[in-house]
């Protein structure tokens, strides 16, 4: 069964793939009621902050016109239902077995609220968190049911094996900047926030990227309780959100405790893409 992404890119529903494809999809592995508890907690906060349409039930996460947001890492902070879901119980059991030893996770949790017409451009994770081990894995968790219209995760099959991705793009770091560029003083002073001179995207067009790299965009209609895991070199993106609701999901990261860790994402207050994580060089 094949469907079409806006712009003509084909994507194919898949339910489980192993190392050859570069990801694992485990439908129903997490407790559905625990995931829905996370959603209830998050949408309650968003409703209280005025981001949701008061005419609709908060669990539907219908956006309030003109009120959009992006990453909300604090919604996965210690003591929240999402933190318990991601960093204890079945999730840690999975990665302990999968990695073959004691695991540690990043202290920063990526909690996404993707607005109508929003999507995540194609990228790999290595360019954002490659200063520790490369044997680091992402868990993408839908916080609620996600239809094709709402716009879930897409994986570009076998992209982790692409030599050009691994040896060129995959060696870059979004927090490395050119000190001889005009905007370097703004980055160094913190006046230019975020990733600086490059946002890490491979392309803004999943269609042309697929034509260039080969393979198919793979996805599914996800349900609360599903999760997908993949490594640092797997190209992924998301389908555009064609509803009036936020698409809620989280990204969390896991590795063996014995391996080196990227210091940007650990500690009580991770520095993330802040000034302290920047590395300058002459370009």
* 33-90: pLDDT as tens digits: 999 999 999 999 999 999 999 999 999 999 997 777 878 999 999 999 999 999 999 9
Closest CA to 219 of 257, 247, 191, 185: 247
The answer on pLDDT for 16 being more than 50 is no
Q: Is 173 helix (H, G, I), strand (E, B) or coil?
A: coil
DSSP states of 117-153 as a string?
T----SB-STTTS-SS-S--EEEEEESS-B-TTT--E
Integer Cα distance of 135 and 258 in angstroms: 11
* Residue-level pLDDT at 163: 87
**For the chain, how many structural domains are there in total?**
1
Percent of all residues in the chain with a pLDDT value above 90, rounded to a whole number: 84
* 190-244: pLDDT as tens digits: 888 888 899 999 999 999 999 999 989 999 999 999 999 999 999 999 999 999 9
Integer Cα distance of 167 and 126 in angstroms: 11
* 153-186: pLDDT as tens digits: 999 999 999 988 888 999 999 999 999 999 999 9
Q: What is the DSSP letter of 75?
A: G
* 257-267: pLDDT as tens digits: 999 999 999 99
* Residue-level pLDDT at 105: 98
Backbone angles phi, psi at 95, to 5 degrees: -70, -30
Residue 142's CATH number? 2.60.120.620
* Residue-level pLDDT at 193: 81
Integer Cα distance of 41 and 62 in angstroms: 15
CB of 167 within 8 A of CB of 161? no
Task: Tell me the average pLDDT of the chain.
Answer: 91
* Residue-level pLDDT at 20: 61
Structural domain that includes position 224: 3-259+267-281
The answer on pLDDT for 3 being more than 50 is no
Is-above-0.95 flag for pTM? no
The answer on pLDDT for 2 being more than 80 is no
């Amino acid at each position: 069964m094949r469907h079409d992404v806006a712009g003509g890119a084909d994507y194919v529903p898949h339910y489980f793939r192993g190392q050859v494809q570069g990801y694992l999809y485990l439908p129903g592995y997490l407790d559905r009621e625990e995931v829905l508890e996370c959603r209830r907690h998050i949408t309650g906060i968003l409703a209280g902050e005025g981001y949701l349409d008061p005419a609709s039930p908060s669990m539907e996460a219908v956006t309030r016109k003109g009120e959009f947001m992006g990453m909300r890492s604090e919604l996965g902070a210690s003591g929240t239902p999402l933190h318990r879901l991601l960093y204890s119980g079945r999730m840690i059991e999975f990665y302990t077995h999968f990695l073959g030893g004691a695991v540690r996770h990043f202290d920063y949790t990526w909690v996404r609220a993707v607005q109508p017409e929003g999507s995540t451009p194609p990228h790999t994770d290595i360019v954002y968190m490659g200063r520790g081990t490369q044997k680091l894995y992402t868990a993408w968790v839908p916080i609620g049911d996600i239809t094709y219209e709402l716009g879930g995760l897409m994986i570009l099959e076998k992209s982790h094996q692409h030599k050009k991705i691994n040896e060129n793009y995959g060696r870059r770091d979004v927090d490395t900047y050119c000190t001889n560029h005009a905007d370097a003083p703004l980055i160094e002073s913190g006046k230019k926030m975020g990733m600086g001179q490059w946002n890490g995207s491979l392309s803004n067009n999943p269609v042309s990227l697929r034509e260039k790299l080969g393979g198919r965009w793979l996805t599914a209609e996800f349900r609360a309780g599903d999760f997908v895991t993949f490594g640092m070199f797997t190209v992924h993106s998301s389908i555009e959100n064609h509803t009036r609701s936020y698409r809620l999901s989280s990204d969390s990261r896991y590795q063996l405790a014995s391996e080196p860790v990227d210091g940007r994402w650990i500690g009580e207050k991770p520095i993330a893409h802040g000034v302290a994580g920047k590395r300058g060089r002459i370009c």
